[in-house]
A and B are shown apart, each in its own frame.
Chain A
């Protein structure tokens, strides 16, 4: 026990002496949290729009002004021809081209239909679909208005028409659909996990690179003492980071904390234990810090992209969804969001606790088995 205490103490001394690592562990993640939460938004704004108005009627001008009033679009220009508008899209100055054909108003009154063309630059798929949907919404509401306006009988008819179903949405757990409430808890989980994984992955490799491991290996230190001695300090760091991150999240973004913090911290402890196992395993496999870094990088990218933070797991293909099961970050993000936003209790996230516990056992067994004192 005394030996273990000393190993832990030694690790702490080394961590606090390392002038590069300390700010890397505290300041950088908080900065990432702030920057990511502000910038990495799913909301689509500032869609650049070009309107080709070939009709130049009262209605076409009405559409244009309605769109102008929306803060999601920036009306770049009103080019006189479709060809010029195409050029704008080509050069990247327009994301969407709205073409109002000649005789639009006339046709509407004559045939009771009107046609409008939307050309969408789909290089950025999200911007394209979401932007086009917004635009369609505006046109839809415009449509409603002019129909009543142009055909007064319709208004009368509507009163006598058969009852219609109207769908009203209500967004539970995040009523304002606040993007930050949604992202900050997830990003916090991701940051804590990644940092701990990277730090541990570098740790034993570093001892191997400097040669200190050789001196350690000829001592009667037991494997579990050595591994546990490496794990405990990083667990502390991870928990500390989560605490600081939660405080920052509350102060800066005012994230809701509906559920129990105990569940959050208990899960964090379990999750970090699993992640530490991965880190130590990588550390045992790699010969140099550079190798360790690249292996970690490989896992980190997969873990981040498949953790449900940016794209919902539910919309992934079935096969990909299975791959998220051994991904500790996916569970962390889920637990953070459920508990913080929804107020999930332990029993609601028990599945994540169970899976993570299994992961922790598997990864740490791998770490202990792959650590060899004899080469």
Chain B
């Protein structure tokens, strides 16, 4: 049985179609990523799966329970971390944790093994009010609170948004450790670089799923010629390349431009063309596609 099963889910708010015809499933114990820009429908999908929203059409199950009919059963077995920090800011770390443990009918001691790795980092601040914690610490506390009742499925809605790079890396480390406990994790993120840390990902855009596969397969599926280019004048290079007939798409990507071509043009000929236009220090290599390239291509 799959941990999450989504069939033909549709939901609209007024005239806005938030998600349309979503179909996918998440295996038990899988770390599944939902990758898409802001407004793609990620949070709506999370709310449907966590029983906070009722879909207009279609149905979904979590651990075999229907999100509409068996919502009470689902609420006992899931952990949810909303995109917005939703713990009590005026309660301390300890009090928040205690509160959530109690309303799930358990205690901190009982499930301490699950949160131990995370909680040791929070422990020095356990009497501090949650509102006074740093962004990264808040995320850790929210994760602790979502985990305290040993959920079967964990829903993390953009857990790393607004968190510094180090904390983000740490957070993903934690998720891998949780996976080892057999917890199914559905995580959403707008950061393409985090996609490769998931076992499987779904690319979502404007409420539609573009592609679902492992990150490796998704990047491998990129069949068009891709180059990374830089020269002395980055901005002029971008403008010039956009005007070339062989260019299908060119986007800035770190210190390089990623150029997708529509014909089998060699890197040497591109280099020559650019030299004619007055570019110097030209560097041009064949590039390996990233999730972002695939995403932009699918858009």
Binding site for B on A (CB under 8 A): 2-3, 6-7, 10, 13-14, 17-18, 210-221, 373-375
Residues of B within 8 A of A214 (CB): 52, 80, 82, 84, 86
B69-92 Cβ-contact flags toward A at 8 Å (1 or 0): 001100110101010111111110
Contact A3 B90 (CB under 8 A): no
CB contacts under 8 Å to A, within B59-74, are 71-72
Please, which residues of chain A bring their CB within 8 A of the CB of B78?
Answer: 218
List residues of B (95-113) whose CB comes within 8 Å of A's CBs: 95, 98-100, 102-105
Instruction: Choose among B51, B52, B76, B85 the residue with the greatest number of A CB atoms under 10 Å from its CB.
Output: B52
**Could you show 17 A-B contacts with beta carbons less than 8 Å apart?**
A6-B102, A10-B88, A10-B95, A210-B86, A211-B82, A211-B86, A215-B145, A217-B52, A219-B75, A219-B100, A220-B75, A220-B104, A221-B103, A374-B52, A374-B54, A375-B47, A375-B53
Which positions 13-55 of chain B face chain A at CB distance < 8 Å? 47, 50-54
Measured between C-beta atoms, what is the minimum distance from A223 to chain B in Å?
11
A212 touching B103 by the CB < 8 A rule?
A: no
Chain B residues closer than 8 Å to A375, beta-carbon distance = 47, 52-53
A19 CB to nearest chain B CB (Å): 10
Residues of A within 8 A of B145 (CB): 215
Given contacts A3-B105, A219-B75, 16 further A-B contacts (CB under 8 A): A2-B102, A3-B103, A7-B103, A13-B90, A13-B91, A211-B82, A211-B85, A211-B86, A212-B87, A214-B80, A214-B82, A215-B87, A218-B51, A218-B52, A218-B80, A220-B103
Q: Which of B50, B72, B95 contacts A13 (CB 8 A)?
A: B95
Min Cβ gap A294→B in Å is 25
Complex formed: what's the CA distance from A6 to B101 in Å? 10
Known contacts: A17-B90, A220-B72. The answer to whether A6 contacts B84 by CB under 8 A is no
Which chain B positions have C-beta within 8 A of A211? 82, 84-86
**CB-nearest residue of chain B relative to A219?**
B103
Chain B residue with Cβ nearest A3:
B103
Contacts of A219 in B (CB 8 A): 75, 100, 103-104
- A277 to B86 Cα, complex, angstroms: 26
Measured CB to CB, the nearest residue on chain A to B79 is: A218
- By a CB distance below 8 angstroms, the chain B residues around A14 are 88, 90-91
* A6/B71 in contact, CB under 8 A: no
* CB within 8 Å for A215 and B102 given contacts A14-B90, A210-B89: no
Chain B's closest residue to A229 (CB) is B103
Whether the Cβ atoms of A374 and B104 lie closer than 8 Å is no
Contacts of A215 in B (CB 8 A): 80, 82, 86-87, 100, 145
Would you call B102 and A212 a contact (CB within 8 A)? no
- Provide the bound-state CA to CA distance between A13 and B127, in Å: 13
Query: Which of A7, A221, A374 meets B51, CB within 8 Å?
Result: A374
